[in-house]
Chain A
């Protein structure tokens, strides 16, 4: 009987711990729309078992708050609207998150591992004197996470003994949360006093009608083998047939063929589409780090020894200038 009693109390205790667990997801948005990686971060947060809240800070939050309060798994949306959040500067966002943390005492704070999340969360962590965990790909338990190191060539399982766990989430490793069916309550939080040490001036975004690189189902990428920026048109044509996003290797970016935000790799974007077509890309370690979790990899390269063939499901040794137009043609049939 004693044993049975212990079992029950243990169960109750676990339930209790879970109830006390609470996660704050810092939402990424552009004052119009939620950035998709936030949905992946919400899924990761839900896996922790506790209550999930989202913080929306910006100069104009209404639309985003409306979206996020319908997302499944979100219990509460905290809103901080103020002109000082223009450009989402970490110097202004950090005091807000610290104040929110002070008020609600979360056990976990997370965001997507995008340029936004990577810029902000380590600053928050240092202020709380905790070691953050970057770009997690799996949650084993509320304090144990898996992440990649050495450009994705090793998996590190980390136990975090910090009182507050702060981490960023690799978007491609978690499904996006459902955008309908949730009904979160909203609550305004007081904006922090502007710090004034930094100022956002402007941004120049690469405009494209193609799907966004990190969430596209199909990605066509080009490397040094394309030889010029003009030749990337071959890839755009192929991509249009496949409704694919277009990516690039660092070599193609450095050579000025395409802008840097198209770079796939350790230092660029991490993608994991259903189909990744690497054209004229040798397959250096740094590039593989950004795409080797793709479901199916196709390589088109004239060098049969190129390392990309070691990870490619389908490899075609051919001159891309011939093969790519042929492929575009074949797909038109």
Chain B
């Protein structure tokens, strides 16, 4: 089968890092902090590569929007099996205010330009925790969306998507072209092996400016300040279960 998958990948502060708020409360400290690919994007890449391995699609294109370092994230996707990359260069002030609305406009423009059959994204980035980009990309393209996917089945020009919803799971059938966002349980991403990392260095990353795609990066959201959340007061250790139950009873909790 033919068809192309566009996978969005975001470079974020590594999930295991304890973040720090800047003293001027403007944002979070990112300089000198370990970054890696957003975990949900890894799952999206894995799913796209799997579809290619099953010969259900012919090409996987990894896209990232951001400064120069975004290329590292694209390289990781290439090492996992993506065929080529597109780096949409956004830096400086524009990068600071880059949000899901702008990224979805970029993704929608690229999906049309590249004649994609599917756009697969993570369900949310673990830095801004927005959970918006996939839905907005689908809207701009007027494509159906299969969000929070934990299972995908391509069947001709339809896709069966099992979605994680609040009370359990639901299954929908959507037509292609479509936008999918990956939940944690969609798959387990592979590790890039050293030979594949070496091979990825030879794969091409095209550099594109948002203006070439006709995307205006103006943002009408303004972050006024970023604060530490209120700290919880230190608790106490109890010695026995009776002690614990007694304390909970005294405080009227049970």
Give me the interface of A with B, judged by CB distance under 8 Å. 87, 89-91, 94, 114-116, 118-127, 129-135, 144, 147-162, 197-206, 214, 218, 242, 250, 253-254, 259-261, 266-267, 269, 274-275, 285-286, 292, 296-298, 309-318, 323, 326-327, 330-331
Contact A318 B241 (CB under 8 A): yes
Subset of 5 A-B contacts with CB under 8 Å: A91-B174, A116-B166, A149-B226, A203-B165, A260-B150
Is the C-beta of B112 less than 8 angstroms from some C-beta in chain A?
Answer: no
A311 and B40 alpha carbons, distance in the complex (Å): 27
A131 touches B100 (CB 8 A): yes
Q: A260-B150, A261-B167 are in contact. Are A199 and B173 (CB under 8 A)?
A: yes
A115 lies within 8 A of B148 (CB): yes
Which 10 residue pairs of A and B lie closest in terms of their CB atoms, listed nearest first?
Answer: A126-B139, A126-B136, A122-B135, A203-B170, A122-B132, A313-B235, A205-B167, A205-B168, A131-B101, A326-B241
Scan B120-164; emit 1 where CB is below 8 A from any A CB, else 0: 000110111111111111111001110110100000000010011
B72 within 8 A of A: no
Interface string of B224-252 (1 = CB under 8 A from A): 11111100111111111110110110010
Selected from B99, B101, B169, B174, the residue in CB contact (under 8 A) with A203 is B169
Q: Give how many B residues have a beta carbon under 8 Å from the other chain's beta carbons.
A: 81
Residue of B nearest to A250 (CB): B184
The answer to whether B131 touches A275, judged by C-beta atoms less than 8 angstroms apart, is no
B184 / chain A contacts, CB cutoff of 8 Å: 250, 254, 260, 267
- B99-122 vs A, CB cutoff 8 Å, 1 = contact: the mask equals 111001000000000000000000
Contacts of A119 in B (CB 8 A): 135, 145, 147-148
Give the shortest distance, in Å, between A95 (CB) and chain B (any CB): 10
Report B185 CB to chain A, min CB distance, Å: 6
Q: How far is the CB of B215 from chain A (nearest CB, A)?
A: 12
**A151: contacting residue among B126, B136, B175, B183, CB under 8 A:** B126
